[in-house]
Amino acid sequence: MNPQYRVQNPVDNQVIETFDFATDQEIAQTLDRSAAAFSEWRKTTFAERAEIVSRAAEILRERSDELSSIMAQEMGKQLPEGAWEVNFSADILQFYADRAEKHSADVEIPGIQGGKAMVRRLPLGPLLGVMPWNFPMYQVARFAGPNLMNGNTVILKHAEICPKSSAAFEQILKDAGLPDGAFINVYATHDQISTIIEDPRVQGVSLTGSERAGSAIASQAGKNLKKCVLELGGTDPYIVLDSSNVKEAAANAWATRVMNSGQVCTGNKRIIVMADIYDEFIEELTNIAKSYSQGDPQNPGENQYFPLSSRDAGENLEKQIDDAKSEGGVVHTGGNLLEGGAYFEPTVITDIPVGSDPYYQEFFGPVAEVYKVHSDEEAIAVANNSLYGLGGSVFSHDEERAKKVAAQVETGMIHVNLGQAFDPALPFGGVKRSGFGRELSVYALDEFVNKQTFYVND
């Protein structure tokens, strides 16, 4: 892996532009600027903050084409998906601009003898966000939106392959009127991340990324007595209990799986299908995967697949598929990384033995991993036999049956008759090794605030 911050087009693996790592002096200046900005930003009213954050949402929409093109070049996201992401990011910022003041109002505690008490939600200080490459705008919006509205300041360390996305987001906030230092994009090294977390002025850290990265960040945060929020991996179950139209069910499952080239934390990584429709489902899924051809993310067409974020990501996925095959997994189509760039063939794999190492791994790419089950109870058991617990979904014509199964799936999010719902008002987060804490919704406003008890004696 090239260690520099860079734009490395996954279509052909060519490095287009590089960016220097921050110097230690620049990191020190970043910490000073963030702390200085906090001393003033915390004093602003919710209305003043909302005006700026709302304007940032407008600018995001205005620059949708530019931002989508940046993401396509940096990590291979096709333009329509990039436009959707930018607009959803704007929705998120607007959500917090509209709701933060009401949610964060003082709350009186009733029934206190001898005095009056209330809970105030107060900003904490500078926060560090460590963000991944798969949704370069959305991930930043869902961290920055609630925390800027809370009166905190933000230091952003984005993925090394998304330097232009992170710089563009910083510029949008500046153009919206955010004071200098309230949001700082920094091209930090891993050692410098530790320096930032150790600084006593920094009050918390949020990471979206791999389990390995989450463990490292949580360890550092814990050592320094800092709160952290982690959104890590997932092997989300997608349970198909029945279908009167198996072709349509397979098509829906495939469309969900290949969103963002399969690089979605909440993607349907394990498709669990009832035995009576399993064979037809696999046949249809395989036919769909075979029908796809290589596409250009800057000029996408129908039934096309696009590169993964990097050649390294493709090589890792290919090794995972090979390991699964060696354990007994059957590849019905695909399974190979093409020469040159980061294009990975659309893949359908079955028969990975439950309990094997590959069974517990997350396949981050266009890989449909399918399991046959014979009862609702077996479907639930397979769904819950995971190290992760992020999201999931259950499908059935019998809604009550689907709801009964869904209620027993151990995840932070579960859906009935839908792959995933997207709305800023819905809490996002997981259990088990998928992390802890919640993003999106008003719950995100509670993660990095001082819930202060304010007592006045009679």
Catalytic residues: 231, 265
- The C-alpha atoms of residue 13 and residue 309 are separated, in whole angstroms, by 10
Q: 262 in the Ramachandran plot: left (φ > 0), alpha (ψ -120 to 50) or beta?
A: left
HSE of 294 in the Cβ direction (CA atoms, 13 Å)?
14
- The C-alpha atoms of residue 86 and residue 167 are separated, in whole angstroms, by 15
- The DSSP code sequence of 416-441 is ESSS----TTS-B--EETTEES-BST
Three-class DSSP category at 121:
strand
Three-class DSSP category at 8:
strand
- The C-alpha atoms of residue 202 and residue 456 are separated, in whole angstroms, by 30
Instruction: Give me 351's structure tokens.
Output: 């028969």
Percentages helix, strand, coil for the chain, rounded to the nearest 5?
40, 20, 35
For 159-263, strand residue ranges (E) read 183-185, 204-208, 227-231, 237-240
- The C-alpha atoms of residue 141 and residue 79 are separated, in whole angstroms, by 19
- The C-alpha atoms of residue 402 and residue 413 are separated, in whole angstroms, by 15
